[in-house]
Amino acid sequence: MGRELFGKGPDGEDVHRYVLSNDAGVSVDVIGYGATITAAHVPDRTGTKRNVVLGFSSLAPYLGPHPALGAVMGRFANRIAGGRFTLDGTVYKLPINNNGNTLHGGKRGFDRYTWREVEFDASRARLVLGHTSPDGDEGFPGTLDVRVTYTLTAKNELCIDYFATTDKPTVVNLTNHAYFNLSGEGTGDILDHELVIFADSFAPVHRNQIPLGELQDVTGTPLDFRQATPIGARIRQGHEQLVRGMGYDHCYFLKKPAGTPADQPIHAARVRSPKTGIVLDTYTTEPGVEFFTGNVFDATLVGPSGSVYRQTDGLCLETQHFPDSPNQPAFPSSVLRPGTPFTSRTIYQFGVSD
């Protein structure tokens, strides 16, 4: 119960769909391919359940080209400039797949593999998936063994816990790439969603979306979401950062209060749909959150509702290390060494308001 065959993966392997549910009427669907969140059904202010995650109703579209809907991204989420980095004096060259850079781990990142089932307990609404990336995979050093755990709690929290070990020094940046629409999948854009990002600064980028290597205060810019603001209020402004990102596609710096333990998530963002009252709060142990407004959707993808996905039909809150951090000494380090596991926790908590 809670597990069913979803299709065959690219190498002929079985891909299963898992359903995590709680007594509050919330359920989350995950498939083994890409450790992908395919749906999240949440009651709105009237009690009507709505799917608030963009995705597909069958496996085939996930195997084709799409902008990483709902998947775990790795080895390195976001971009690495020029497809290369230096670690301990050695230069590592990676596949180029995005305007001269490496995006989301290369040409075949973690989102393009079927993860193995480690544990599934429907009664506890808990799923553990694993993936082993061999030494040299997409140019990255070290054999990396990764596990991601999805847990749906009685408090309507979808907890995502990442764990990874390596046998050689390497770089790691893992995130989930779910696109949310709190009015419901297929209902249109998210421009009326009211967003708060609990951050005073962000990483400005070049035209190719590589960070300049510094942080910029959000004050006086359309990237200031310290107070609840409709996403569409300033997205069409001619600010150079919005032009370069074709909308919002920026990493915000999450400053932990003094004395906060490293393993304690902090409040990163809150977003609310005024149409449904559904609220999403994001908490994380990561130093950054990439806010992305689905700027690449071009009406070529069709969701389970039968609607095509257009620009700004979903938003991502990708908790992660900063883009290009292996080449940016001022950013928090993404280096992982043998004997010290990588751990990270993100919580997406669903709620409702009037």
* Catalytic one of 177, 193, 250, 321: 177
Beta bridge pairs of residue 252: 202, 289
* Catalytic one of 41, 185, 318, 321: 318
The three-state DSSP-derived secondary structure of 231-294 is HHHCCCCCCHHHHHHCCCEEEEECCCCCCCCCCCCEEEEEEECCCCCEEEEEEECCCEEEEECC
Cα dihedral sign, 204-209-212-214: positive
Give the span between the Cα atoms of 284 and 147, in whole angstroms: 17
Q: Please say whether the beta carbons of 105 and 323 come within 8 A.
A: no
Which among 169, 211, 178 has a CA at the least distance from the CA of 322?
211
**Length reported for the chain:** 354
Give the span between the Cα atoms of 172 and 241, in whole angstroms: 26
Q: What are phi and psi of 12, to 5 degrees?
A: 85, 5
Active site residue 318: yes
Q: Catalytic positions, please? A: 177, 318
